[in-house]
Structure 1
Amino acid sequence: MPIYRMAIGTPGEMSHPDSIKSALAEFFSTLIFVFAGEGSGMAFNKLTDSGSATPSGVIMASLAHGFGLFVAVSVGANISGGHVNPAVTFGAFVGGHITLLRAIWYWIGQLAGSVIACLLLKFSTGGLETSAFALSSGVSAWNALVFEIVMTFGLVYTVYATAVDPKKGNIGIIAPLAIGFIVGANILAGGAFDGASMNPAVSFGPAVVSWTWTNHWVYWVGPFIGAAIAAIVYDHIFIGDVQHEQLPTAGDY
């Protein structure tokens, strides 16, 4: 099991230049991703006045988030590994590929990037609302929790298979493509039910700017559980006790 490999890290890691650079890379990658994803929903609402919870709205969200995440992961890969998601970082921590102290830097960068992206969207659109994630009619918080667990499991499992596994070889841009594709596909599956977040940072920025916290816990608890399960399953079954590598930070994506 990978749990025994989890490490707190050393105090000096918090002030190390590489940790700060990685946090900045996560900040900018998450800003790029959230600006594109949240902005696409705002644009669709403005153009159609029909809301994003329609078939065409879900398709637009899927494409915008899939394309945006492909770019965000790619531009951050050489510096931080391109997590762009607190749940991915948590999955890496559970698998022993990043220390807790370094993960805290990542989380700060990711959450700050999401909030700044939403503030920029609100300002540049003349005050349009950055809608927080919400459950559809007839969908309970527990239904949504299961959705978030399963969808995030698929995402983090994909990250492990294409970016973390030391046997992956040199697969170039396949990892960010696969990660973008699974997020886009999951939005098509779950977007009409709970918005298909899979990413606490993506949910956090709109919630802060709109100050809407209804069922917000679902978008933290679900992704973290799904990420932990994916990390344990993939690491235990497919990686095992082979020598581990730190989550890629030098072009392995």
Structure 2
Amino acid sequence: MPSLSLRSSSRSSLGHKKPPVSPRSARLVVLCLGEVLGSAMLMYFGCMSLVSGFSQAPLPGMQGGLMFGFVVSTIIVIFGHISGAHLNPTVSLSAYLLDMIPLIELPVYFVSQIVGCLIGVGLLHVVTPQEILYPLGGSVGFCVTVPHASLTQAQAFLAEFLSTSLLIFTCCGVWDPRNARHGDATPIKFALVIALCSITVGPYTGASMNPARSLAPAVFSQVWTAHWLYWVAPMLASLVSTLTYKYLFSAADSLLAGKSHSTELSEGDVEGSVPMPIN
């Protein structure tokens, strides 16, 4: 009998080998690929809409803003359920502050987004002749975000801070569990907010709202004018906006909802009925 039990246990142990890749490692690989591909698509198609060398006529003023919005919307449909389709370090930072992703995933998101943006701009340089990308010469740069010459760096900083804040508040609102039943139009919501910020803030700073989006064209064009503010302003805006939403809107609303719920409970006891839960 002992020998039979030993054989059965050995067979069971052989039949239940540990998988070669842990679930956490597989998760990191999947989200990495999703963010790399999504960020590459963002920069390839978004910056492609800004190519002006094929025509003598200037590009329509709203073309770039609308195209970036449409591209983001499409990427959310493709990768939203895979990696979240953050495409932006400010969005990933916000997700971390809201306890939506663990700390170990945060640098993976950051690196994947930067690599993806570099790949996207690189592919666009491969398929487009240099004289088309840079019709005015390489010193101007292509798809590079720089403040308007008439703005001070403080003004440009504030413009980027406020536009990124609008984007992050939109993220917080979409992610809010109280808004879960209205999630079907999420791609359209982000298309609109990206287009809004790009069209209005674009003439001021280029409306980056995304450090990875600003880094990749700067690397290829070697134009670094006020590049620091495209990192500091968006990341600071993400921090401030997320914490404001988390502790002012979410926490305060939860407290108010709790008080209202307790009040309705007491009224229900008096009337002998059961109150509906407050969402």
* 1:139 aligned residue: 151
Deviation per residue, 1:203-246 (Å, 9 max, x gap): 1110111122221111111111111122111111232297xxxx
Paired residue for 2:103? 100
2:25 to 16, 25, 49: 16
- Select 1:65's aligned residue among 63, 68, 77: 68
Contact 1:29–1:82 (CA under 8 A) maintained in structure 2: yes
Query: Residue 188 of structure 1: which of 192, 199, 210 is its match?
Result: 199
Aligned match for 1:87, one of 68, 85, 90: 90
Contact 1:94 1:232 in 2 (8 A): yes
Amino acid at match of 2:144: A
2:165 corresponds to 1:153: yes
Distance 1:149 1:13 in 2: 39
Deviations, residues 4-59 of structure 1 (Å, cap 9, x unaligned): xxxxxxxx9996110121011011111111111111111x3532364x6xxx23x0
Cα contact 1:145–1:218 (8 A) shared by 2:
yes
Structure number with the bigger relative contact order (C-alpha 8 A, sep ≥ 6) is 1
Query: For 1:107-146, what aligned pairs fall within 5 Å after superposition?
Result: 107-127=110-130, 128-129=133-134, 130-146=142-158
How far apart, in 2, do the equivalents of 1:76 and 1:40 lie? 21
Say whether residues 1:218 and 2:221 are aligned partners: no
**1:167 partnered with 2:159:** no
In structure 1, list runs of 5 or more residues that go unmatched. 1-11, 243-253
Could you tell me the TM-score, scaled by structure 1's length?
A: 0.82
Contact 1:72 / 1:84 at 8 angstroms: preserved in 2? no
User: Matched residues, percent identical?
Assistant: 26
- For 2:45, the aligned partner's letter is A
Partner Cα separation in structure 1 for residue 90 and residue 228 of structure 2: 13
Counterpart code for 2:30? K
Moved more, 152-161 or 15-24: 15-24
SS across alignment from 1:142: helix
Q: Compute the displacement of 1:93 (Å).
A: 1.8
2:46 to 22, 26, 37: 37
The alignment status of 1:228 with 2:224, answered yes or no, reads no
Q: Give the match's secondary structure for 2:29.
A: helix
In structure 2, the partner of 1:47 is 55
Structure 1 pair 13/213, CA: closer, same or farther in 2 (3 Å)?
A: farther
Q: Secondary structure at the match of 1:155?
A: helix
* Structure 2 alignment gaps of length 5 or more: 1-20, 135-141, 255-279
Structure 1 residues 140, 48: closer, same or farther in 2, change over 3 A? Answer: farther
Report the Cα distance in structure 1 between the residues aligned to 2:206 and 2:23, rounded to whole angstroms.
34
Q: 1:179 aligns with which of 187, 190, 194?
A: 190
Seen in structure 2, the aligned counterparts of structure 1 residues 24 and 153 have a Cα distance that, compared at 3 Å, is same
Q: Looking at CA atoms only, which structure, 1 or 2, has the larger radius of gyration?
A: 2
Deviations 1:69-124 (A, max 9, x none): 11112211111111111110111122222223201111111111110111111110
Number of residue pairs matched by the alignment:
224
Separation in structure 1 between the aligned mates of residue 196 and residue 53 of structure 2, nearest angstrom: 21
Give the TM-score normalised by structure 2. 0.75
